[in-house]
Amino acid sequence: MKRFEVYKNIRKRAVIMGLPISLFALMMTVVIGSLLFIIFSFSFTVIISVFLLNGALYIVLTHITKNPALMHIKKVFPQTISNKKGSRLYYEEN
């Protein structure tokens, strides 16, 4: 009888070639654009530079994926939300 292992990584993000789906889509868009650029240009230096650009982009995207703190942007929302008035003026009598 065949044995099946329990899949324990259910909460991990989907990854293609080491990149999350959104970054993989960005990479494929750049690759398709560079292929169009190669098709319409007949220079050997352009072809080499496009391959180097694609390789550098892949390295940068995998580096950002492994270290998400590099793209850390200040939080937009406050840490706590309160209905308490921020004013120090008291409108009620003691």
Domain locations in the chain?
A: 11-94
Concatenated DSSP letters of 23-85? HHHHHHHHHHHHHHHHHH---HHHHHHHHHHHHHHHHHHHHHHH-GGGG----SS-S----S-
Ordered per-residue pLDDT tens for the chain, 94 residues: 788 887 777 677 777 888 888 899 999 999 999 999 988 887 899 999 999 999 999 999 999 888 877 777 667 777 777 777 667 776 666 5
pTM for the predicted model, two decimal places: 0.61
